[in-house]
Amino acid sequence: MVEKAKEVRNHERLLTLQDELRSLIAQAEYLRDQIDAVTTTIQDLASVIETLSYLEKRGEGKTVLLPLGAGNYIRAKIEKVDTVIMGVGGRLSIEASIKEAKDMLGERVKVLEQLRLDLLKKLEEINRRINEILPQVEELAKQEQGQ
């Protein structure tokens, strides 16, 4: 009787832990996707900052190839490098000086880097919890198979 009650308790515990494990794995996958998306955006922004720095110093009068689509380009000359048109969100763009644009982009990078760190911390916590409950699930499943 006591043995049976213990079996039921163990089975319920196993189901609860399996549920938690599934939920944690889903959360970890979601966080990994978010971290990847944030990392890609940081890389894009860093690349724009680098391009702006180059254009600011050496861009004036340079010939560039303007993409027309489907791998076709047309030659164009950079007339002015003192300002840039940058998107601010909500389908709106503004004209800003290169310094202003670089500052704003740098600010965005800082915010995103902090966000990335927070997400990584959360992922670490979730992984720690997964590593905690995984052996318990394995042990309970083994016990159940042995019964």
Partner 1 sequence: MSTGSFNQEILRLIEESRLLRREISALRSMLTEVEEALRLLNKIGWKRRFFRALAGLLIEIPPEEAKEYLSERKEVLETRLKSLEERERKVRSMLSRALKAVPETS
Per CB under 8 A, 37 contacts partner 1? no
The only residue of 93, 114, 127, 136 in contact with partner 1, by rule CB under 8 A: 93
Q: Which stretch binds partner 1 (CB under 8 A): 5-13, 38-46, 50-58, 82-90?
A: 82-90
How distant, in Å, are the alpha carbons of 5, 100, 133 from that of 113? 51, 20, 30
- Of 6 and 106, CB closest to partner 1: 106
Per CB under 8 A, 68 contacts partner 1? no
Least distance in Å: CB of 95 to partner 1? 4
Per CB under 8 A, 48 contacts partner 1? no
CA pair distance 47, 55, nearest whole angstrom? 12
Per CB under 8 A, 85 contacts partner 1? yes
The only residue of 49, 96, 130, 133 in contact with partner 1, by rule CB under 8 A: 96
Percent helix, strand, coil in the chain, to 5, is 70, 20, 10
The per-residue b/e assignment along 94-106, b for 16 or more CB within 10 angstroms, e otherwise, is eebebeebbeebe
- Letter for the amino acid at 50? E
The residues binding partner 1 (CB under 8 A) are 85, 87-96, 100, 104
